[in-house]
Structure 1
């Protein structure tokens, strides 16, 4: 399996491709990483160094991959943090060229824009570009609850309203929605959930809530779900595997008291997830 992954990179710590590539490789995916920014560290620190890549440079790298025959066996394109507003058109064009070569390939968009606690932390034009241009051409999107609400103009909080918001997102174009954080008021204490919705149904998985700010965990989640789904086309199985792996990663990171994800230490949770959390059908 091969995935073209277009997102940020950091030298210190793990976010974007610096979080997503290794877990995908550990489960047997050949990853072709393309960087939208090349930062010293993720922006959650409040200060960072390094360039935002010019869209033309990102496009050149993708074209070079195509010229080497790199599109011929792609199973999916994954995009994340875009850096600048011009990247949207580069991604859309790349997806169209990949699908012209391999119509069965998937495009998974992680619509990175912010979260409920921090608000939007991307360039001001990017959320609307994601909503109006990028999401409609995606097969899969992996928003958190805040991003799902922004994309659809809804307020997902209960299971029912989150399902309605996911359906609104599916009406925009993508067939499969992974909501990476469902924090409903009536859930059991100290838990958090993820939900997957597609034409075949809807499933929710619940894990213990760990009190840490884990920058990059959403990037790992999107990468693993995309990989598993591209391999099996089974949303419930992809959801259960992803939840088990990500919880194992967060558990190890929390135990270490680290600000940065312990990807290497958690690698067995990617390769051999414990499958301790069941994906329950909710529709």
Structure 2
């Protein structure tokens, strides 16, 4: 997810290789509203780099300005107030700069008033240009909230305005009311989210079940009658503490979904919803997620390898605090070093139909 505290484990082994030959000739423009850090890759630091690399011009509106992400257990900086968020938006509006944005990506917003301001901006941008909105409902992980409790009902009021949401397992439970403990309840959660919010597309990330050696990523695109078209991808787990993986997933998913939706002639269709006759595994969303997970695996594999090499060559710091900072710094995502993996992953995880 897009909170500076976001940490997940990810893939360690891969399935069939696949070369993505798409060339980025069709330019789009994204308004990205999320956190920002000076050092490291989380929030808009990740989003802007990845979207630009994949051919999408990106404007960043930062909801926080921090020295580093909170995985270090120490940081300096400040939050952007609701008034400041709206003032920046009004500046864009005043200069006639809103019309170019045809996509929105929203992530970490720490407070409810700030989230209401972001929701107001998103609705206005969509009203003006019909922009596609990827909403990452960043609230927490592993049973713990890392935003104020008042943020939860605000997200529930906004989701039906979005086109794609990418909650993790805990966030899915918060917004659906379904406890996700198995593939059956994961399927029920997707059905419930479509029914409750009429959201066109859903991807539930980072799903783990007790005793499982793999992580699941499940998605669905709605039909004209409101039915789900559900798929799931299983990915092995890389052990490690990696911040910013949710931001990376969201940015890659928006870019890849746009590519596959463009190839299917859907960019002029509301919500980029494919025709009802489109088979589940032929959905642009399913194809996009397969490639996204390939890039995620390769980036994290390189990050882990680099981290292990750095830590092996460094003398351990004396104190626990210093050691934690040392490990966290070595674990920052290696995005600049992984441009080929982001552009042409050469690896794709295979989706299967989720009943």
Range into which the TM-score falls when normalised by the shorter chain: over 0.9
Aligned to 2:273: none
Aligned residue in 1 for 2:215: 192
SS for the counterpart of 1:248 is helix
Match of residue 295, structure 2, among 245, 253, 269: 245
Instruction: Check whether the contact 2:194–2:222 (CA below 8 A) recurs between aligned residues.
Output: no
* Paired residues for 1:1-283 under 5 Å: 1-103=28-130, 105-116=131-142, 119-131=144-156, 133-173=157-197, 174-185=199-210, 187=212, 189=213, 191-199=214-222, 201-233=229-261, 234-257=284-307, 258-283=330-355
Render the CA deviation track for 1:221-265: whole Å, top value 9, x for unaligned: 011112222343311111112111111111111111232111111
Deviant stretches of 4+, over 6 Å: none
Deviates more, 1:258-267 or 1:215-224: 258-267
Name the TM-score, length of structure 2 as normaliser: 0.74
Q: Secondary structure at the match of 2:80?
A: coil
Query: How many residues matched?
Result: 278
Q: State the shift of 1:185 in Å.
A: 4.1
The structure whose Rg is larger is 2
* RCO comparison, higher one (Cα < 8 Å, 6+): 2
> Does the CA-based 8 Å contact 2:187-2:354 persist in structure 1?
no
**234-243 or 170-179: which moved more?**
170-179
How far is the alpha carbon of 1:124 from its aligned partner? 2.8
Q: Alpha-carbon deviation of 1:68?
A: 3.4
Higher mean C-alpha displacement, 22-31 vs 67-76: 67-76
CA apart distance, 1:206? 2.1
Deviation at 1:212, TM superposition (A): 0.9
In 1, the alpha carbon distance for the partners of 2:240 and 2:211 equals 21
- The 1-side partners of 2:302 and 2:220 are apart by 29
Query: What is the distance in 2 between the residues matched to 1:281 and 1:71?
Result: 39
Shift of 1:69: 3.4
Cα root mean square deviation, aligned: 1.7
Which structure 2 residue ranges, 5 or more long, are not aligned? Answer: 1-27, 224-228, 262-283, 308-329
Equivalent pair of 1:9/1:15 in contact (CA under 8 Å): yes
Counterpart of 1:214 in 2: which secondary structure?
strand
CA contact (8 A) 1:135 1:172 kept: no
SS at match of 2:248: helix
1:75–1:227 Cα change, 3 Å: farther
